[in-house]
């Protein structure tokens, strides 16, 4: 029996998922909790948020996120890939940084507009 706290809504139901009984979920207050409990055991996924370097921008880092949930087991691989990414200013919110990141079918996109720096030598 696996115990989880549901993160689908603010209620935070304490779920119990019985792996031996076909992943039967108890403790949920809504059907979404049951779906979350099963998915968390069978195929856990997360939306990944991070930052990447940006050259010539008003800021040194640009916030990014996946535009959908990726398998939890791929998070380290995606983070390692982000370490080598450097954008050039300006960037627009929603701009694709990496398409189909790590063959997940999910894109990595920017989550903020960042204009060019007025200082010519700023990197």
The domain locations on the chain are: 2-43, 49-110
Mean pLDDT to the nearest integer, 40-55: 96
Q: Identify the DSSP state of 18.
A: E
Radius of gyration (C-alpha) of the chain in whole angstroms:
19
Lowest mean pLDDT among 20-24, 47-51, 59-63, 93-97: 20-24
CA distance 87 to 104: 22
Q: Show the tokens assigned to 69.
A: 């949930």
Q: Which fold has domain 49-110?
A: CPE0013-like fold (3.10.530)
- Identify the pLDDT of residue 118: 81
Mean pLDDT to the nearest integer, 104-108: 97
């Amino acid at each position: 029996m696996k115990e989880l706290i549901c993160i689908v809504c603010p209620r935070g139901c304490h779920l119990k998922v019985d792996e031996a009984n076909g992943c039967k979920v108890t403790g949920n207050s809504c059907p979404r909790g049951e779906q979350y409990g099963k998915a968390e055991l069978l195929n856990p996924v997360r939306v990944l948020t991070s930052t990447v370097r940006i050259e010539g921008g008003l800021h040194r880092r640009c916030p990014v996120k996946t535009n959908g949930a990726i398998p939890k087991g791929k998070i380290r691989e995606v983070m390692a890939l982000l370490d080598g990414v450097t954008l050039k200013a300006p960037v627009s919110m929603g701009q694709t940084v990496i398409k189909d990141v790590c063959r997940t079918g999910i894109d990595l996109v920017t989550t903020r507009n960042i204009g060019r720096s007025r200082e010519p030598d700023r990197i």
